[in-house]
Amino acid sequence: MTLTADAQEDARRPRIVIVGGGFGGLSAAQTLARVRADITLIDRRNHHLFQPLLYQVATAVLSPAQIAQPIRTVFRDQKNVRVVLDEVIGIDAPARIVRTQQQGDIPFDYLILAVGASHDYFGKDDWAEYAPGLKSLEDATNIRRRILEAFERAETAESEDERRAFLTFCIVGGGPTGVEMAGAIAELAHRTLRGEFRRFDPATAQVILIEAGPRVLSSMPEDLSEKARRGLEKLGVTVRTGKMVTNCLPDRIELGEESLACRTIIWAAGVRASAAGNWLAAKQDRAGRVIVEKNLSVPGSPDVFVIGDTAAVFTDDGRPVPGVAPAAKQQGKFVAALIADRIAGRDTSSRRFVYDDQGNLATIGRSQAVVHMGRLKLSGTVAWWFWGIVHIFFLIDFRNRMSVLLDWLMTYLTYGRGSRLITDPPRPRGPDIS
Ligand SMILES: Cc1cc2nc3c(=O)[nH]c(=O)nc-3n(C[C@H](O)[C@H](O)[C@H](O)COP(=O)(O)OP(=O)(O)OC[C@H]3O[C@@H](n4cnc5c(N)ncnc54)[C@H](O)[C@@H]3O)c2cc1C
């Protein structure tokens, strides 16, 4: 039997497997659009998620579908990509095989691992039950339910102490996510819920942001982090820096000797890379990120690349490349271009990834944000508009952009929140406070 020219061509096409349809994986697959290769994109979820707006789902401003897009839809017109919904459970790098839960072994010629990161409780994983973190849509709707339910429980509380505990919200970690969550919960309590309860005033809720370091937004210049702190305090958030959480329980949080009655804790303190380092038995940093070569390949496996939040990458002056969306996208693009050139037979031996730092943004609340880009520093309303435009622009789908824009305008004009739904089963009442 003789093969047709097309079939021979197909049999020779290199197989590129990309694990993860987040910012890094998507950008790699899109950069490979014109390459004659068979690309398999594996993700355990069917959607690409715009994590920077997750806190708005968790605080009822946006609904889940507004910040997510089916990965299959993204690649509808890119015929060299096949999307596979499955969980990767291991890699055999020498045999060039990806092991998956459902489909078994998937062979590759080139492999890109972009599996992101998850929460880190610094060895106290039992805290996760009482102090959920924010990484996925499920996390966001779970946190939304906890926040909204806390106000409902405050209405029916049997004692003042119990009501106070339901109206105390502790957010652990003063990075961008912690700051954004604290500001959004304070606005919910002080503005959105005004007049809706009969037995208490929602504005009496306490929102406490706890940070172990000396200041919030530590990756920003000091003056901007001070502005962020003042902005939070203006919204009614209590900012407690230099405080280390020592225990999280269903009805309280402990900070050394101090114990605070509190029914809602949100964890925004630690990040741990996904398991790629273990699959590859590769050298990792303290957060489990794979320490990669300058071209983002795994030492000893030149055709296996790790990018985004899963990789430990350093700039030429030794500073770590931050775990942010632009870094993951740039790395995806870089690795895809390198693979395309190798397939085309070009020499790639001198390639090295160079990070283009596009700055740092964080929003604090309505009309308040901080922006640091090179020598440019912005705060207040101008920064807030800038933050909003950037986020709308980077949302992946036009329909999502329009619907987020409309919801933001409504929230801005009315302080209302369109997604105040308690959709999952109620949480157990927890211990009584006497
Ligand atoms: C709440 C929050 C707010 C953020 N805000 C900002 C911000 O404002 N600006 C900014 O630049 N960055 C922000 N970030 C960081 C940014 O989202 C990440 O740096 C970026 O998503 C990293 O991209 P990635 O491709 O490495 O991983 P991800 O985007 O996390 O994608 C990883 C993908 O891998 C999949 N996956 C994981 N394990 C497996 C497996 N075993 N098998 C199959 N699939 C798997 C996941 O389902 C996911 O789709 C925020 C992050 C969070 C959590």
DSSP per residue, 299-341: TTEEEEEE-GGGEE-B-TTSPBPPSSHHHHHHHHHHHHHHHHH
Candidate from 23, 331, 355 with most ligand 1 atoms within 8 A of CB, to mutate: 23
Nearest CA residue ID for atom 53, ligand 1: 135
Q: Report, as an integer, the average pLDDT of 107-120.
A: 97
Q: How far is the CA of 165 from the centre of ligand 1 (A)?
A: 33
Candidate from 324, 333, 358 with most ligand 1 atoms within 8 A of CB, to mutate: 324
Q: Report, as an integer, the average pLDDT of 82-94.
A: 98
Per the annotation, the verdict on 257 as an active-site residue is no
Specify the residue for token string 């730092």: 357
- The values of phi and psi at residue 226, to 5°, are -70, -40
pTM confidence score? 0.94
Segment 321-362, tens digit of pLDDT? 999 999 999 999 999 999 999 999 999 999 999 999 999 999
Instruction: Give dist(CA 89, CA 101) in Å, integer.
Output: 6
* Residue ranges around ligand 1 (CB below 6 Å): 19-25, 42-45, 51-52, 54-55, 87-88, 114-116, 134-135, 176-177, 274, 308-310, 323-326, 328
Residue type, 116: G
| pLDDT of amino acid 411 | 86
Q: How far is the CA of 327 from the centre of ligand 1 (A)?
A: 11
Closest CA relative to residue 248, chosen from 181, 183, 171, 189: 171
Segment 197-210, tens digit of pLDDT? 999 999 999 999 99
Poorest-confidence range of 83-97, 103-117, 315-329, 386-400? 386-400
| pLDDT of amino acid 221 | 95
Q: How far is the CA of 51 from the centre of ligand 1 (A)?
A: 6
pLDDT at 316 over 80: yes
User: For ligand 1, what atom is nearest to the CA of residue 274?
Assistant: 38
| pLDDT of amino acid 247 | 97
Which pair of structure tokens corresponds to residue 7? 């079939």
User: For ligand 1, what atom is nearest to the CA of residue 391?
Assistant: 8
pLDDT at 44 over 70: yes
Candidate from 115, 141, 274, 280 with most ligand 1 atoms within 8 A of CB, to mutate: 115
Residue of 162, 180, 187, 211 marked active site: 180
Strand partners, 365: 368
Which pair of structure tokens corresponds to residue 222? 């000091």
Poorest-confidence range of 28-37, 129-138, 243-252, 400-409? 400-409
Instruction: Give dist(CA 55, CA 295) in Å, integer.
Output: 33
Instruction: Give dist(CA 380, CA 87) in Å, integer.
Output: 43
3-state secondary structure 367-390: CEEEEEECCEEEEHHHHHHHHHHH
User: For ligand 1, what atom is nearest to the CA of residue 47?
Assistant: 49
